[in-house]
Structure 1
Amino acid sequence: MPVPTCPCGQDLPYAACCGRLHRGEATATTAEQLMRSRYAAFAMRDAAYLRQTWSLTTRLATIDFTPGQKWTGLEIVGTTGGSPFHSEGTVEFHAHYTRNGAPGVQSENSTFTREAGEWVYVAAL
């Protein structure tokens, strides 16, 4: 039986890709890697990881997942900054989903920064 690839779209098994970040075995080295891992966390309904990687300045008290929604694919449109050598960055993306069987897409340009040296999500532009 083939090992499923990671929900983030990288051609790696989940355990070797975003699973390492979700389990706390690694941290994101770029804003894009954090964005991908957060998308995978939404797909896996991992609220704890989403809160952990959300800026203290904008973090929601709770994370609610939309009933009947399944994330089906991530497309990175572009990035600015966000490398291992930056302290801020943006990631523009299209996150595809189905909700109660109907397809949809969430398009966003998200900002990221470092807090205590780790990449965190700040907000959508």
Structure 2
Amino acid sequence: MTQRLSSPCPCGSDRTYDACCGRLHRGTAQAETAEELMRSRYTAYAVGDEDHLFRTWHPRTRPDPLALDPATTWIGLRVLDMEAGGAQDDAGVVEFEASWSRGGGSGVLRERSRFERRAGRWVYVDGEVAEQ
């Protein structure tokens, strides 16, 4: 992982990586909402943190093996919609667009992701994906 702790967080929160998703990646904090977990997972893709993705993926839907594409650069995140997923909820949905570039091309991945609390922690279950 090459993200500097004092750099802006890739999730676009206007906080540093250390104060935002970095603390979730290190395991010193847990996501309080489905959106916070989604942002940390986007950032994990952006910085190459497969361990965080593995830990936050529901075991029944997690691919084996989990492999990131090193040729893909994640360049922007925009949250579009949320349903539940708050600090008091047990399930939630977050819809987002994530911009990427790869080998001279670029695109936008749009996903409507489902999250659940499992043993008190938010986990990613699955999502409906549409690349644009």
TM-score, length of structure 1 as denominator length: 0.95
- Partner of 2:3 in structure 1? none
- Partner of 1:89 in structure 2? 92
Report Cα offsets for 1:14-72 as digits up to 9, x if no partner.
Answer: 01110000000000000000000000000011111101000122111122122421000
Structure 1 residue runs without a partner (length 5+): none
Structure 2 residue runs without a partner (length 5+): 1-5
Counting only pairs closer than 5 Å after superposition, residues 19-34 of structure 1 correspond to structure 2 as 19-34=22-37
Segments of 4+ moved more than 2 angstroms: none
- Residue range with higher mean Cα deviation, 63-72 or 87-96: 63-72
Q: Distance in 1 between matches of 2:104 and 2:26?
A: 30
Query: How far off its partner does 1:4 sit?
Result: 2.3
- Residue range with higher mean Cα deviation, 113-122 or 99-108: 99-108
Q: Distance in 2 between matches of 1:14 and 1:108?
A: 23
How many residues of Structure 1 are paired with residues of Structure 2 in the alignment?
123
2:79 aligned with 1:38: no
Q: Distance in 2 between matches of 1:101 and 1:23?
A: 32
Letter in 1 for 2:53: L
Identity of aligned residues (%): 47
Q: Distance in 2 between matches of 1:25 and 1:82?
A: 21
2:100 aligned with 1:123: no
Letter in 2 for 1:9: G
- Partner of 1:69 in structure 2? 72
RMSD: 0.9
Query: How far off its partner does 1:101 sit?
Result: 2.3
- Residue range with higher mean Cα deviation, 94-103 or 16-25: 94-103
